[in-house]
A and B are shown apart, each in its own frame.
Chain A
């Protein structure tokens, strides 16, 4: 694979480093990204291994990155796409290059693993033209403010659900910590999850909160708290 030095492209063109050990998949991805629907938007550099990808990126160490985005296959011999993902994110922690992982396996564990490691998105193969829009939204070359909600939802739906902390604590301070956690969950549910989950989650959390409050009141009253006992009477 011919790997050049600095890549000079026009404004608005996303430079993609494509990493896949399968020649067929590489070609299909390249052709999809250069098709009429996204003519001129992408400049693709294809390599057949994670090692070669690291060598290419390493050339730009300390200087301005020549790549706007890394699109990598997950299953590769020697160094997997997951290892590459972590290595790319570690290259420049202050301004990490967006990484999108592709895989033929639609495995929730694998997906959440990649997203937790910082992947911007996870695409199940085979790559299709509708996936190209997701690539466009994830690149540093374009601001994310205008990104359509469905793309964020797709990534968010694959994130593991944030569950409320367990009710194992007996102490009042433990309960307070749970309330704080519950409040955080409510906030995060508003921001991250799709429409339906926050409603369900809030319902569950409300019920849990009511139960907690009820138990607390019961304990305070059973300890002989004078004013509260009137409430329970």
Chain B
């Protein structure tokens, strides 16, 4: 049955996301809460919120790092925000990169920060793609039922 095949695909995707360290137990917890039944669409909602938030922060960071004189306090504040929200939904890889990024901010290392931003951006895009696939699969499974 199509739904079963879709479910298998979804489970495989989630398993690979965990195995590669893209997401951690926090994400698993949020999924379990959704599966409890009282708050359907929980994960889709927070994932969407996170992606919008992260997109906004990354744009702000890019603008700040392009300035002739970089305001490292502002950069640090944004990275702190991104670290916080990625921790809250369990986006482990992004969170760890943010931790390193913060250290570079504190060292006032401009080139280091620019490189860290590139890494965060790539990791975030990768995560966002996987989240989008995950949400599409969930929607298709819902449609079958």
A residues near B (Cβ < 8 Å) are: 22-25, 27-28, 31-32, 34-37, 39, 75, 77, 104, 125-129
For B87, the chain A residues whose CB sits under 8 A away are 104, 125-126
The answer to whether the Cβ of B53 comes within 8 Å of any Cβ in the partner chain is yes
Of the candidate stretches B43-51, B106-114, B129-137, the one touching chain A is B43-51
Considering the complex, give the chain A residue whose CB is closest to the CB of B36.
A36
B residues in contact with A77, CB < 8 Å: 77
Partner of B29, one of A23, A36, A39, A129: A129
Q: Which of B33, B46, B90 contacts A35 (CB 8 A)?
A: B33
In whole angstroms, how far apart are the Cα atoms of A17 and B112 in the complex? 40
Contact across chains for B89 and A28 when beta carbons are under 8 A apart: yes
Total A-B Cβ pairs within 8 A: 68
B residues at A contact (CB < 8 Å): 26, 29-30, 33, 36-39, 42, 45-46, 49-50, 53, 77, 80-81, 83-85, 87-90
User: Is the pair B88, A36 in contact by a Cβ cutoff of 8 Å?
Assistant: no
A18 to B59, CA, bound (A): 28
A-B contact pairs, 11 of them (CB 8 A): A22-B53, A23-B53, A24-B46, A25-B88, A27-B49, A28-B89, A31-B39, A31-B42, A75-B84, A77-B77, A126-B89
Per the bound structure, the CA–CA distance linking A128 and B89 in Å amounts to: 10
> Which of B26, B85, B90 has the largest number of chain A CB atoms within 10 A?
B85
Q: How far is the CA of A24 from the CA of B36 in the complex (A)?
A: 21
Contact partners of A25 in chain B: CB under 8 A: 84-85, 88
Q: By the criterion CB–CB under 8 Å, are A36 and B83 in contact?
A: no
Contact A126 B80 (CB under 8 A): no
Q: How far is the CA of A27 from the CA of B89 in the complex (A)?
A: 10
User: A151 to B35, alpha carbons, bound, how many Å?
Assistant: 27
Report the separation of the CA atoms of residues A126 and B91 in the bound assembly, to the nearest whole angstrom: 11
* A75 cross-chain contacts in B, Cβ below 8 A: 80, 84
Docked Cα-Cα span, A22 to B49, in Å, equals 10
Of B46, B49, B88, most A-chain CB atoms within 10 Å: B88
Q: What are the 8 closest A-B residue pairs judged by CB atoms, nearest first? A: A24-B85, A36-B38, A36-B36, A126-B88, A35-B33, A126-B87, A28-B88, A25-B88
The distance in angstroms between the C-alpha atoms of A34 and B41, with both chains bound, is 13
Measured CB to CB, the closest approach of chain A to B25, in angstroms, equals: 9
